[in-house]
Structure 1
Amino acid sequence: MRSSRIALVALATLGLAACGSTPPTRPTAPPAVPLVSTARMAEANLAPASASLVSGRLALVPDAQGVHITGMIGGLQPLQVAAFHVHERGDCSAVDASSAGAHFNPTLQPHGRNNGGIHHAGDMDNLRADAQGRVNVDVRLPAVTLGGGAATDIAGRALVVHANADDYRSQPAGNAGARIACGVIRVMR
């Protein structure tokens, strides 16, 4: 009888202790830092890489969602589908544009599709050339800034066109193939 009373007291004590404890708090995401671009406009002049004939001129303008990229790229094969990314370094000096480094990825996410779940900040949708091998570029790149030096700033980085389509799955770069054009994003003053 005595052992059952001790057990009952112990259970009651544990029950009361559980009622008095505060529930564990759920971790919350850090507060969102507003994305603020300080540049009004930038440009990137794409030059051929890896012995291609691909080149182009692009304008970059910040907007409410990130950065809007427009312009023309030519020299692709007719109807070619080519990957297009922001790369981490604004250096296109290597013949194969490897000097531009990896995809721009300040949040250390896996590679994926822009606006399609988790992805690098520099991941964009594939470009599709017309029958003359030209692409009219009209891309919005969300969650990046232009100028100001924030971790999300793409000014001074490189835009790169790849020989193959991005499969949006393969890590770390979507199996996009050779770099066939590269241009540094330069803020216009």
Structure 2
Amino acid sequence: MRIATFALVGAAALGLAACDQKGLETGTPVAGGQSARAMLMNAAGVDVGRATATDVAGGLRFTVDAKALPPGTHGVHIHTTGRCDAPDFTTAGGHWNPTSMKHGSMNPQGPHEGDLPNLITGTDGRGTVGVTIPGATMAGLLDADGSAFVVHAGPDDLMTDPAGNSGGRIACGVFQAS
């Protein structure tokens, strides 16, 4: 009986070790996965935080750690071009939208891959947000012209195409493989 139990446990362990990562639940960390980081700067060139993208099963996990931003609610998005020319950061282009969806998680025809939840910063200018975007890939994020992370002046209404009425761009960072 004991030998049979050990054999069953050993077979189960081997079976689990042999599972490929495609069977993992979306958002599960991927061993040896890639990551990218965008150092966020405001129009004056002041460091206001960072955004990180990490490979996870079925997509990318984005996390934002902000500092020295105006208190309040800010729309944050992935933009299509890896450029952040101050003062208005328009060189970052529009929202990253490889699946041609509409903007916003509240839009019945959305969201697109560049949509993220609003970032809320306290009176100390600090805030964090994290989200997994199913289907997003590091290859798409770090394509030939790259991608940027943009913080907007106001809240994203999570519905209005193309940018959620989130106002001007107040901070930006270009994603670089890390």
The one of 135, 140, 152 equivalent to 1:143 is 135
Distance 1:113 1:53, change over 3 A: farther
Residues 1:176 and 2:166 aligned together = yes
**2:91 aligned counterpart, secondary structure:** helix
Question: Unaligned regions of 5+ residues in structure 2, if any?
Answer: 1-29
TM-score normalised over the length of structure 1: 0.68
Q: State the identity %.
A: 39
Where does residue 67 of structure 1 map in the other structure? 60
Hey, what does 1:87 align to over in structure 2?
A: 79
Instruction: Give the alignment's TM-score, normalised by structure 2.
Output: 0.72
Unaligned runs of 5+ in 1: 1-36, 148-152
CA RMSD of aligned residues (A): 2.6
Once the two structures are TM-superposed, the CA of residue 130 in structure 1 deviates from its matched residue by 2.2
- 2:38 maps to what in 1? 44
| CA separation of 1:86 and 1:174: change in aligned 2, threshold 3 A | same
**1:169 Cα deviation from its structure 2 partner:** 2.0
- CA shift, 1:171, in A, is 1.9
1:1-40 → structure 2 map (5 Å cutoff): 40=34
Distance 1:140 1:81 in 2: 20
**What's the secondary structure of 2:172's corresponding residue?**
strand
Moved over 3 A (4+): 51-54, 114-117
3-state SS of paired residue (2:141): coil
CA distance in 2, matches of 1:92, 1:163: 16
Q: Could you list the per-position Cα deviations for residues 27-72 of structure 1 after superposition, in whole angstroms to 9, with x for gaps in the alignment?
A: xxxxxxxxxx9961111101113x5967112322110131112342
**In the alignment, structure 1 residue 131 sits paired with structure 2 residue 118:** no
Offset of residue 139 of structure 1 = 2.4
Counterpart amino acid of residue 35 in structure 2:
M
The structure with more radius of gyration: 1
Report the Cα distance in structure 2 between the residues aligned to 1:110 and 1:139, rounded to whole angstroms: 18
SS in 2 for 1:69: strand
**Cα deviation code 1:152-172 (max 9, x no counterpart):** x11220010000000122221
